Amino acid sequence: MTTGNDQKTRTALVTGASAGIGRELALVFAEHGFDLVLVARRKERLEALAQEVQGKFGVKAHIMTIDLANPAAPRQIFDEMARRHIMVDALVNNAGFSVPGYFRDTHWEDQKGLIQVMVTAVAELCHLFGPGMAARRYGRIINVASLAGHLPGAAGGTLYAAAKAFVIKMSESLALENINNNVHVTALCPGFTYSEFHDVAGNREEMNKLPKIIWMTGDVVARQAFDAVMAGRPVIINGGINNFIALLARLLPQRLVHSLMARNQRNAKAKPRAA
């Protein structure tokens, strides 16, 4: 990517790049001239995406297959970038999943993995790559949160909403810390987005009952995220309906909000697809 007096090709590292919003974000960064580092567990999908962006946009695409549920993964990613002499200018923390079902009925190892992937790894990757960005006075970080982070947690999403709320607040704080470093940090808060996320979570049948007007496509969400981080917006909630929902959650009496959320049993009744 070259802008103004900057003649340097920049590199974006995207976690959870094999599908969904992560894949779309990788495509948008590539379209804007960024080389890519694609990180996920599914090697075949990463290889296919790498070939696609190289053919379409002429950028370099590196892949790294790793599971962020492994506590050692963030440091391994950082060390591998140093070994390959790849300077990361943009970081997209997108990897994530949900653990459906009542909290009391789930396996702790699954919940522990959610915290590792969606809280600890996000914070650690920002902590590892952020200082270099600040020192070079250029950095772009997108932390994929959710509209759920602005709402009370629904049944069956006990730690999901909590993790996303953490990501939002952390991103806001990092944005303020780096306000004079040309390092922009944005929490991306999509609502319902077409992807395979709900197939894996096991609530696709319930999700299909929702009105189509509330759904957005991944490419639109990704483009809005890219524009937001480039403009230095700490938080972006995608879509007018989602912004209205978040506003109501702040303004309505919390007793009423909790009563409304109590009706949402989609995740509690979901049956996750086998990995």
Catalytic residues: 160
Per-residue tokens: 176 = 């303020």
Task: For residue 35, list its beta bridge partners.
Answer: 11
**2 CB-near residues (< 8 Å, 6+ apart):** 8, 9, 33
CA–CA–CA angle 190, 193, 195 (5° rounding): 130
Percent helix / strand / coil, the chain, rounded to 5: 50, 15, 35
* Residue 269: burial class (beta carbons within 10 Å; 0-12, 13-18, 19+): middle
**217 CB-near residues (< 8 Å, 6+ apart):** 193, 194
